[in-house]
Amino acid sequence: MATTTPKIIIVGGGLAGLSATIKVAEAGGEVALFSLVPVKRSHSVCAQGGINSAKNLKGEGDSTWAHFDDTVYGGDFLANQGPVKRMCEMGPGIIELLDRMGVPFSRTPEGLLDFRRFGGTLFHRTAFAGATTGQQLLYALDEQVRRYESEGKVKKYEYWEFLSSVLDSQGVCRGICAMDLRSMEVVTFPADAVLIATGGVGAIFGKSTNSVVCTGSAQGALYQQGAAYGNGEMIQVHPTCIPGEDKLRLMSESARGEGGRVWVPKNPAETRAGKDVPEGDRWYFLEDKYPKYGNLVPRDIATREIHAVVHDLGLGIGGSPMVYLDLSHIDRATLDRKLGGILDIYEKFVGDDPHEVPMKIFPGMHYTMGGLWVDEDQMTNIPGLYAIGECDYSIHGANRLGANSLLSCIYAGFVAGPNAMKYAKNLAAPPENLAASFANEKNRQMQYNDLLVKNQGTENPFKLWRELGEIMSRNVTVRRFNDKLQETDAKLVELLERYRKVNLSDRSMWTNQSFLFTRQLYNMLQLARVITQGAFLRNESRGSHYKPDFPERDDANFLKTTKAFFAPDADEPRFEWEPVDVSLIQPRPRRYDTK
Amino acid sequence: MANKSVLFKIKRQATPTSEPFWEEFELTWRPGLNVISLFMDIALNPVTRNGTPTTPINYDSNCLEEVCGSCAMLINGRARMACSALVDNLEQPLTIEPFSKFPVVRDLVVDRSVLFENLKAIKAWVPVDGTYSLGDGPRITPQVQEQSYQLSQCMSCCCCMEACPQFNESTGFVGAATIAQARLFNMHPTGKVLKDERLDALMGDGGIQECGYAQNCVEVCPKEIPLTKSISSVAGDVMKKAVLDFFRT
């Protein structure tokens, strides 16, 4: 029979992981929470613009159904609709709870939550805390978890890396194998259920808006252990990012939500500074083409338009791949109150004052809609293993609407936490040889570490990573061509081969960050093939997945989820497809210029 | 000003108990470099200025945009975040060291867990009844929100503690960040139910009395949080409570 106190392991301490932690602790479970970094430093902290919910506090007649329709439409009908509807219905309750927990949401004169408009909708349904909403939501959940920690209900393992799950002889997940990043010790941890909340995969694309820890390594490891990966090819490129030497810094959609305007000089040879170009010489191309949604068309559409204006029409600023995002027409006080955090980022890292001059931006890899495949209870195809948040595929279809990510993370955590508890209480006794499963997995990981640290070779892992990022960003983002995708997969095979000759210049077994990164790199390469081959096989255009050779959406052949499984003998993915549940809202053409 | 190269030295340390040592580096300049990108360059080619092979630098980082609080270190003697330390705004040769008041783990990685222990001590949370639905939270005016938002931006980087002359082993001072967080939660309509306990936690040794009003904290805070105002405000509350407690007993 199941033990009296369910033991739940949660990997990842962002919004999804902390949401699940709170639900499990509140329900009397014991949580072991693993994170690469102190949980309040998780990547959720970077989210800027806001969190959606149809509270309808702007007198617009908004509803959870309208939110559901906007989300399904924005996702180009690729998501199974049941979970999406439930998420939208839970939205108002989630906002109310976060408010009660002390998130300093921006307020109206009547003291109520303020809401702004975000991409892909005509309703003001995005609650926000200045321009650092993700940070504030994360901090509130971090504080609640700290309370449970002080009560002994949650044990945190910060600066630990997830290596793999421990599967018993029947393929049921019975715990994890993890590594202490200080001592590099490899340890197994038993649990009744494991929740994976390990976020996005930005590092696979080299530079992205993601944080350093967003490698997708945990997902890659689980995929190699038999977890199915859904719609890996659905990668969101955010239209407005600030290019940088070390990362692409996000310039939130809320800038456009508060009235920011995207434009280029009409004259490709324009030499005047942005602020000196008069109105008549500016082309506000998004407003021109999309009179109803204007600058707030969904991200995939905005990205493609910017890409086309720069690459096809040659109208990038001064010939460079950049366009203007202009806030300078808005008064300073409003900008500071509603967008202060992101304007600070622009000023600090670029040196120009966006109150005075238009910002220069360009699209950058930002989010993965694809992720570990899960059922309606957030369980993967591996019994006892759940996936929640950006690392799960279930909500956003072929394109995510802005401000839906924060909601989907908390939703998934709130659903999976109680589900994991129920599962744990009904869990059958493990097979007799369970101890051997743990010992074998620990040995396997220790042997791998040993091989890696001793490997004599010539390849610098950071150089391999740079090559990975460059080719993925070039060929597997905004525009996809089948010959280029095949070239990319061939390059990935080459990088995997060269990985065998990787040389660690640091062979210390104490706090060795380059060892950790090199380990993650292998899983990144394997997952990159899932993304690339999935894109190759989907011969249509849908949401963020755009193939100029197949420019239309093809529901007859592709209204289905791409499901990738690792084929160990071939050492590459094999694919299955699953029809999408569109029973609640029938697919219709996705047009934001008319709607 | 176009520099051909960037010169910097880093104070490294292999383990918590080994001796620190300096390494010098010279890298090719490019526009837009920050200190983090210097470390990334070293990882691609870990060789010191005089050509000796070395190891990539170990350092805490995550967001690279000054919201997570990870990459705090001493750069040219000043406590600050490495991601927002733009090379062009810094005097060369750059001097990069780990925080001096926290135990070194390796290279630039230090142990800042003391701050998280302090946040537990002052119950830095809002004690909600439960996650079940209880409808809307309390109404809060925009003016109050603007104040709490400011305080709520603290990313636990510990720059204030590093810069504070009173933060050291002999005083056991909690530091400005913890005090400002106490003020934040004491301001919240529900949070203030724990106000007495927070004030108690800040009395006595290591508490708010250790503050010497040097004002280094507010000077280095990357988020420009009103730390000294917060310390004054909380000190006033602590004083009032101490007097009332005295007359109550």
Question: With contacts defined as CB-CB under 8 Å, which chain B residues touch A411?
Answer: none
Give the pLDDT confidence of A7-58 residue by residue, as tens digits: 999 999 999 999 999 999 999 999 999 999 999 999 999 999 899 999 999 9
Q: Per residue in A183-222, is it b (16+ CB within 10 Å) or e — as a string?
A: ebebebbbbbbbbbbbbbbbbbbbbbbbbbbbbbbbbbbb
The answer to whether the CB of A512 falls within 8 A of the CB of A184 is: yes
B35: closest chain A residue by CA: A246
Catalytic residue ranges of A: 299
Q: How far, in Å, are A257, A271, A296, A359 from residue A309 at the CA level? A: 22, 18, 17, 17
Residue A94: phi and psi, rounded to 5, are -65, -45
Quick one: CA dihedral B102, B105, B110, B116, positive or negative? negative
Distance CA(A193)–CA(A420), nearest Å, equals 6
If asked whether residues A33 and A176 sit together in one domain, one would say yes
CATH label of the domain that carries residue A209: 3.50.50.60
If asked whether residues A230 and A243 sit together in one domain, one would say no
In sequence order, the 6+-apart residues with CB closer than 8 A to the CB of B76 are: B90, B91, B94, B95
Is A586 domain-assigned? no
Which of B27, B57, B62 is the best mutation test for A, with the most CBs of A within 10 A?
Answer: B62
Q: How far, in Å, are A130, A403, B189 from residue A103 at the CA level? A: 11, 16, 12
Question: Could you identify the residue written with the tokens 């009179």?
Answer: A291
In this model, does residue A497 exceed pLDDT 70? Answer: yes
Paired residues of B74 in beta bridges: B79, B97
In sequence order, the 6+-apart residues with CB closer than 8 A to the CB of A424 are: A2, A6, A7, A8, A29, A192, A193
Which residue from A100, A212, A245 is facing B61, i.e. has the nearest CB? A212
In sequence order, the 6+-apart residues with CB closer than 8 A to the CB of A494 are: none
If asked whether residues A412 and A442 sit together in one domain, one would say no
If asked whether residues A398 and A502 sit together in one domain, one would say no
If asked whether residues A203 and A297 sit together in one domain, one would say no
Is A579 domain-assigned? no
What pLDDT is stored for residue A594 in this prediction? Answer: 77
Residue B212: phi and psi, rounded to 5, are -105, 10
CATH label of the domain that carries residue A243: 3.90.700.10
Contacts 24+ apart (CB under 8 A), B116-119: B116/A38, B116/A146, B116/B156, B118/B174, B118/B175, B118/B177, B118/B178, B119/A146, B119/B156, B119/B178, B119/B181
**C-alpha radius of gyration, chain B, whole number:** 21
Distance CA(A576)–CA(A242), nearest Å, equals 38
Q: Judging by beta carbons within 10 Å of its beta carbon (0-12, 13-18, 19+), is residue B45 exposed, middle or buried? A: middle
Q: Do A211 and B60 touch (CB under 8 A)?
A: no
A414: closest chain B residue by CA: B131
Instruction: Say what percent of chain A tops pLDDT 70.
Output: 99
Helix H or strand E segment including A265: strand A261-265
Is A482 domain-assigned? yes
Looking at every residue in chain B, the average pLDDT score rounds to 96
What pLDDT is stored for residue B1 in this prediction? Answer: 47
Helix H or strand E segment including A25: helix A15-26
If asked whether residues A37 and A160 sit together in one domain, one would say yes
Closest Cα partner for B204 from B236, B171, B237? Answer: B171
Q: What residue type is assigned to position A32 of the chain?
A: A
In this model, does residue A1 exceed pLDDT 60? Answer: no
Distance CA(A448)–CA(A443), nearest Å, equals 8
Which residue from B68, B136, B191 is facing A99, i.e. has the nearest CB? B136
What pLDDT is stored for residue A3 in this prediction? Answer: 53
Domain boundary among A347, A363, A379: A363
Q: Do B190 and A102 touch (CB under 8 A)?
A: yes
Q: Do A96 and B133 touch (CB under 8 A)?
A: yes
Is A80 domain-assigned? yes
Distance CA(B174)–CA(B116), nearest Å, equals 11
What pLDDT is stored for residue A4 in this prediction? Answer: 82
Maximum Cα–Cα distance across chain B: 71
Mean pLDDT for A438-454 is 97
Distance CA(B134)–CA(B93), nearest Å, equals 58
What pLDDT is stored for residue A245 in this prediction? Answer: 86
Question: With contacts defined as CB-CB under 8 Å, which chain B residues touch A43?
Answer: 62-63
Q: Per residue in A43-69, is it b (16+ CB within 10 Å) or e — as a string?
A: bbbbbbbbbbbbbbbeeeebebebbbb
Give the pLDDT confidence of A564-591 residue by residue, as tens digits: 999 999 999 999 999 999 999 999 999 9
The answer to whether the CB of A566 falls within 8 A of the CB of A226 is: yes
Give the pLDDT confidence of B79-91 residue by residue, as tens digits: 999 999 999 999 9
Is A536 domain-assigned? yes
What pLDDT is stored for residue A595 in this prediction? Answer: 52
Is A590 domain-assigned? no
In this model, does residue A2 exceed pLDDT 90? Answer: no
In sequence order, the 6+-apart residues with CB closer than 8 A to the CB of A201 are: A210, A214, A215, A216, A219, A368, A524, A527, A531
Domains of chain B listed by start with CATH number? 5-110 (3.10.20.30), 113-248 (1.10.1060.10)
Q: What residue type is assigned to position A568 of the chain?
A: P
Contacts 24+ apart (CB under 8 A), B185-190: B185/A102, B185/B122, B185/B123, B185/B124, B185/B125, B185/B126, B186/B234, B186/B237, B187/B144, B187/B147, B187/B148, B187/B151, B188/A102, B188/B126, B188/B148, B189/B138, B189/B140, B190/A100, B190/A102, B190/B126, B190/B127, B190/B128, B190/B137, B190/B138
Question: With contacts defined as CB-CB under 8 Å, which chain A residues touch B15?
Answer: 510
A98: closest chain B residue by CA: B137
Closest Cα partner for A44 from A444, A524, A389? Answer: A389
DSSP B65: S
Distance CA(B70)–CA(B36), nearest Å, equals 12
If asked whether residues A208 and A350 sit together in one domain, one would say no
- Cβ atoms within 10 Å of B95's Cβ, excluding its own: 17
CATH label of the domain that carries residue A449: 1.20.58.100
Give the pLDDT confidence of B40-81 residue by residue, as tens digits: 999 999 999 999 999 999 999 999 999 999 999 999 999 999
Which two tokens mark A91? Answer: 């939205």
Distance CA(A329)–CA(A311), nearest Å, equals 28
E strands, chain B, are 5-12, 21-28, 72-75, 78-81, 94-97, 104-106, 109-110
Which two tokens mark A141? Answer: 């959940």
pTM of the model: 0.96
In this model, does residue A80 exceed pLDDT 70? Answer: yes
Helix H or strand E segment including B119: helix B113-121
If asked whether residues A542 and A505 sit together in one domain, one would say yes
Is A79 domain-assigned? yes
Question: Given pLDDT bands bounded at 50, 70 and 90, which one contains residue B169?
Answer: confident
Q: Do B58 and A96 touch (CB under 8 A)?
A: no
Question: With contacts defined as CB-CB under 8 Å, which chain B residues touch A23?
Answer: 131
In this model, does residue A504 exceed pLDDT 60? Answer: yes
Upper half-sphere CA count for residue B203 (Cβ side, 13 Å): 15
Closest Cα partner for A322 from A399, A391, A268? Answer: A268
Distance CA(A98)–CA(A81), nearest Å, equals 25
The answer to whether the CB of A190 falls within 8 A of the CB of A438 is: yes
Which two tokens mark A31? Answer: 């949580």
- Distance from the Cα of B249 to chain A's closest Cα (Å) equals 29
Number of H helices, E strands in chain A: 15, 21
B109: closest chain A residue by CA: A511
Distance CA(A20)–CA(A545), nearest Å, equals 31
Coarse DSSP helix, strand, coil percentages of chain B, rounded to the nearest 5 percent: 35, 15, 50
Give the pLDDT confidence of A103-139 residue by residue, as tens digits: 999 999 999 999 999 999 999 999 999 999 999 999 9
What range defines the domain where residue A93 resides? 7-234+369-425
Which residue from B15, B44, B120 is facing A463, i.e. has the nearest CB? B44
Q: How far, in Å, are A65, A106, A208, A471, B64 from residue A247 at the CA level? A: 37, 29, 6, 16, 7
Distance CA(A538)–CA(A587), nearest Å, equals 18
Is A585 domain-assigned? no
In this model, does residue A444 exceed pLDDT 60? Answer: yes
What pLDDT is stored for residue B204 in this prediction? Answer: 83
In this model, does residue A221 exceed pLDDT 80? Answer: yes
If asked whether residues A108 and A177 sit together in one domain, one would say yes
Helical segments of A477-512, H only: 482-499
Domain boundary among A407, A425, A443: A425
- Cβ atoms within 10 Å of A279's Cβ, excluding its own: 8
If asked whether residues A71 and A214 sit together in one domain, one would say yes
Distance CA(A556)–CA(A575), nearest Å, equals 18
What pLDDT is stored for residue B2 in this prediction? Answer: 53
Look at chain A and report how many structural domains it folds into: 3
In sequence order, the 6+-apart residues with CB closer than 8 A to the CB of B30 are: A245
Q: Do B67 and A341 touch (CB under 8 A)?
A: yes
Q: Do B139 and A112 touch (CB under 8 A)?
A: yes
Which residue from B53, B64, B66 is facing A505, i.e. has the nearest CB? B53
- Distance from the Cα of B247 to chain A's closest Cα (Å) equals 32
If asked whether residues A259 and A339 sit together in one domain, one would say yes
If asked whether residues A414 and A465 sit together in one domain, one would say no
Domain boundary among A363, A387, A405: A363
First to last CA, chain B: 67
Mean pLDDT for B143-157 is 97
Distance CA(A465)–CA(A519), nearest Å, equals 12
B68: closest chain A residue by CA: A41
